[in-house]
Amino acid sequence: MTDQELEARLARTVDRAAPKDLEGILSHCGEQNGKVVPMTKTKTAPKGLRRALIAACLALALAGGGAGVFYQNANAVASVVSIDVNPSIELRVNRDEKVISCTPINEDAKEVLTEMNGGKDLEGAKLTVAVNAIVGALVRHGYLDGLSNAILVSVEDKDQTRAAQLEEELRSSIGSILEAQAPNTTVLSQTLPQGTVYDTYGHHDESHHSISSGKAALVSQILALSGSTDATDFDKLSVLTVEELSDLLETGETRIPIGKTAACWAAEEYAGTLVLSSNVVGDVDPELDKRPACYEVELMVNGQKYEYRVDAFTGEVLSGQADVLKISQPAPRPDTTPAPDTTPAPTATPALIGEDAAWAAACKYAGCAFGDTQFTKCELDYEDGVPEKYELEFCWNGNQYECEVDCYTGNMLKHEWEVCDEERHGHHTAAAPVTGPLIGENAAWSAVCGHAGCGLGDISYSKCELDYEDDAPHCYELEFCWNGNRYEYEVDCYTGAVLQHEWESCHNGLHNCGGGGHHGRGHH
């Protein structure tokens, strides 16, 4: 570009920026309007200096434009990440995978984010660090501590290649945390184009249930099985947990279950505890992938635990003790009146139901046929020399069941199960290491606290060092004590992902951590 062309471009820029309202300008001149004001002539700068000034102005303009582009990139939303269990939390992320905003979508999510200033404390953090903190909070608030559960991670991005990469990183990071704190949790993940699913059912106004786009996509997949486009069906499914939705999608079920609240009501009505003013519901576990699909409801009445199975679609109580208030009342005070001389006639001993009837009750609980199981044990248990119950153990569908059945009535007194195959829950492979700016020690501490399930101020720090591999920073090595245990962690110094962790009890005399806790050692 010649000097003449450069001067002409600058002149056009100034001409466009300057106002051309002569009358308006003169109207503000007051008494000077119309008068001749003498001007002092200033010498023009030499031609070479003028060129230098013009070049400097253009350089400043270009620099300002570059700063504007940098600011825009740092604050532009590249991806939207939603985390759903029942709480739904949305993270908006820039291209550098830094959190721009963290928003609770429903009331449960607000409770989870209370310790993080409603999500404000996560702004500016690396995405994996923020997600680790949220998952740790979900565990501490009891949303992922049942016999089974599910968490959904959704990544919305116009660039589906970038979305898939983020999905894999987050799935690996979350899996590592849950392996130590909630090993029975299923991790679901998906990628979505931005702004396509939620609009399908028009749920933009606040009168409908608050729901993330990720959860809406899951609901849409279930509705597609039945071909329904009814907004009412969408609302009924929206209030279900991710675990319930996952089971429906896995089984291909097109019916809509009654939900946990209705299952609790059915169990309490059957047990006769609705008249109590205090809450007696201990736990509700949806088993929609079993046959028959049901909700397992636990009630605590006068210190006694009662368990019920409620049909997931009809609300019928399949097993459990009815009218528990009649049998759970405290024993009456002993009568001090002398006993009469006559001895009451002995009562007849009721007949035992037999092992076949006991097996039928156990199979009804497990949802299997009598011939499908592998029987291991059926024994009659005695108390004070009197038959009390049948104790049964068997395997079916990859699970081992233990049941206690009343030997006179056939009622289920107690039941539990566990997975027979320990390989069902596999290890998660960590994402490939990356390079870039280090996350810093504070972010490393946040990552390990979220993984261990403790607050940052609850632990006793002992060490945080940056470890090198091939002369390049590789990970942070951290050691600390909390809740009577000593923990050792390795955290990726670029992503905040937990690479390795182990712990041992401080009660071996080597570590004065204080407190209680578990005895043992865990490895990742």
The 3 state secondary structure assigned to 376-440 is EEEEEEEECCEEEEEEEEEEECCEEEEEEEECCCCCEEEEEEEECCHHHCCCCCCCCCCCCCCCC
* Confidence band for 61, pLDDT divided at 50, 70 and 90: low
Q: What whole-number distance in Å separates Cα of residue 56 and Cα of residue 245?
A: 62
Whether 153 contacts 188, CB under 8 Å: yes
Q: What is the domain class of 260-326 according to CATH?
A: alpha beta
Same fold, 260-326 and 441-523: yes
pLDDT single digits (tens) 386-444: 889 999 888 887 788 888 999 999 888 888 877 765 443 333 333 444 567 888 888 89
Position 53 scores a pLDDT of 58
3-state secondary structure of 318: strand
What fold, for 355-423?
Nuclear Transport Factor 2; Chain: A, (3.10.450)
Q: What are the CA-CA distances from residue 421 to residues 24, 362, 458, 517 (Å)?
A: 86, 21, 36, 28
Q: Which residue ranges make up each domain of the chain?
A: 79-251, 260-326, 355-423, 441-523
Q: How many CB atoms lie within 10 A of CB 473?
A: 14
* CB neighbour class for 382 (10 Å; exposed up to 12, middle 13-18, buried from 19): exposed
Q: What is the dihedral of CA 102, 105, 107, 108, to 10 degrees?
A: -70
* Contact yes or no for 237/210 (Cβ under 8 A): no
How many angstroms separate the Cα of 5 from the Cα of each of 45, 211, 220? 19, 57, 60
Whole-number Å distance between alpha carbons of 237 and 229: 12
Instruction: Kindly give the pairing relationship between strand 374-383 and strand 317-319.
Output: unpaired
Which amino acid is it at 197?
V
- The C-alpha angle with vertex 13 and arms to 10 and 18, in degrees rounded to 5, equals 125
With cut-offs at 50, 70 and 90, classify the pLDDT of residue 25.
very low
Q: What is the pLDDT of residue 385?
A: 79
> Dihedral of CA 267/269/273/278: which sign?
positive
154-158, 211-215, 271-275, 395-399: least confidently modelled range: 395-399
**Strand runs labelled E in 158-303:** 185-192, 281-287, 294-301
**Cα–Cα nearest to 133, from 147, 146, 145, 122:** 122
**pLDDT band at residue 84, thresholds of 50, 70 and 90?**
very high
| Residue 18 scores a pLDDT above 70 | no
Q: Say if strands 79-84 and 294-301 run parallel, antiparallel, or are unpaired.
A: unpaired
> In this model, does residue 40 exceed pLDDT 50?
no
Helices 231-238 and 213-226 pack at an angle, to 10 degrees, of 120
Domain spanning 441-523, CATH architecture: Roll (3.10)
Best CA proximity match to 138, nearest among 150, 125, 128: 150
Is 490 within 8 Å of 465 (Cβ atoms)? no
pLDDT in tens, 288-337: 988 889 999 999 888 888 999 999 999 999 999 888 887 655 555 555 56
| Structure-model confidence comparison of residues 192 and 328, the more confident one | 192
CA gap 309, 270 in Å, rounded: 11
The span from the CA of 479 to the CA of 86, in Å, is 33
Q: Which of 245, 295, 239, 250 is nearest to 270 (CA)?
A: 295
Predicted local distance difference test score (pLDDT) of residue 518: 33
Residue 510 has pLDDT above 50, yes or no: no
Mean pLDDT of 370-392: 83
Give me the pLDDT at residue 42, please.
42
pLDDT at residue 418, rounded to an integer: 77
- pLDDT given at position 283: 84
User: What is the spatial distance between Cα 71 and Cα 504, in angstroms, rounded to a whole number?
Assistant: 46
For residues 13 and 251, give the distance between their C-alpha atoms in angstroms, rounded to a whole number.
66
The dihedrals phi and psi of 228, each to the nearest 5 degrees, come to: -80, 140
pTM higher than 0.85 for the full model?
no
Q: Which residues of 222-232 are buried (b: 16+ CB within 10 A; e: fewer)?
A: bbeeeeeeeee
Is the predicted pLDDT of residue 35 greater than 60, yes or no? no
CA angle 275, 315, 410 (to 5 degrees): 80
